[in-house]
C-alpha cells in the first residue's frame, strides 16, 4: 500500500523560504507524477505544480512560477517543494499527492502546516 509521509509543521518569517518533503513508501517512486497543492484556512485548493517521471520534468502554476521549486530524490523516494519569498498569504496546509497510472491525486500525504508570521 502506498503511503506518503510529509515533514512537520513550519513557522517562518516573511521573506524566508520553506522546504517541505514528501516521502513515499510502497510502489515504485519514480514512475508516477507527484503534485503539490495547498489549502489556506477555510479555503479550497490551489495547485502549485508537479514533477513528472522519469526525467523529473516540472510544471508550475503561473501564479507561483519563480517562487516554487519541486524536486525529487529517487534514492530517498522523496519529493520536495520549496517556496521562497514567503508572505503571510502563504500560510496554508501544503499537501503532496501521487498519481497511480490511471488515477490522478490517488494518494495523499497527511499535510504540512506552514505558518508565515513576523
Partner 1 sequence: QAGLTQPPSVSKGLRQTATLTCTGNSNNVGNQGAAWLQQHLGHPPKLLSYKNYNRPSGISERFSASRSGNTASLTITGLQPEDEADYYCSAWDSSLSAWVFGGGTKLTVL
Is residue 73 involved in binding partner 1 (CB under 8 A)? no
With a CB cutoff of 8 Å and minimum separation 6, the contacts of 11 are 115, 116, 117
For residues 55 and 73, the answer to whether their CB atoms sit within 8 Å is no
Is residue 44 involved in binding partner 1 (CB under 8 A)? yes
The set of cell numbers assigned to 55 is 526525467
The residue within the footprint of partner 1, chosen from 3, 19, 88, 103 (CB under 8 A), is 103
Is residue 75 involved in binding partner 1 (CB under 8 A)? no
The residue within the footprint of partner 1, chosen from 61, 71, 77, 91 (CB under 8 A), is 61
The sign one gets for the Cα dihedral 97, 39, 93, 72 is positive
The residue within the footprint of partner 1, chosen from 16, 88, 110, 117 (CB under 8 A), is 110
Is residue 94 involved in binding partner 1 (CB under 8 A)? no
The sign one gets for the Cα dihedral 30, 106, 5, 95 is positive
- Cross-strand pairs, 18: 83
The residue within the footprint of partner 1, chosen from 20, 95, 114, 116 (CB under 8 A), is 95
Q: Applying CB under 8 A, which residues contact partner 1?
A: 35, 37, 44-47, 50, 59, 61-62, 95, 97, 102-106, 108-111
Amino acid at each position: 500500500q502506498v503511503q506518503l509521509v510529509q515533514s512537520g509543521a513550519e513557522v517562518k518569517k516573511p521573506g524566508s523560504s520553506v522546504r517541505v518533503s514528501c516521502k513515499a513508501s510502497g510502489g515504485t517512486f519514480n514512475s508516477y507524477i507527484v503534485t503539490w497543492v495547498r489549502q489556506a484556512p477555510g479555503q479550497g485548493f490551489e495547485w502549485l505544480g508537479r514533477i513528472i517521471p522519469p526525467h523529473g520534468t516540472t510544471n508550475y502554476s503561473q501564479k507561483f512560477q519563480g517562487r516554487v521549486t519541486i524536486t525529487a530524490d529517487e534514492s530517498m523516494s522523496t519529493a520536495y517543494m520549496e517556496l521562497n519569498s514567503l508572505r503571510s498569504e502563504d500560510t496554508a496546509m501544503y499537501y503532496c499527492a501521487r498519481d497511480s497510472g490511471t488515477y490522478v491525486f490517488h494518494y495523499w500525504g497527511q499535510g504540512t502546516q506552514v505558518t508565515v508570521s513576523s
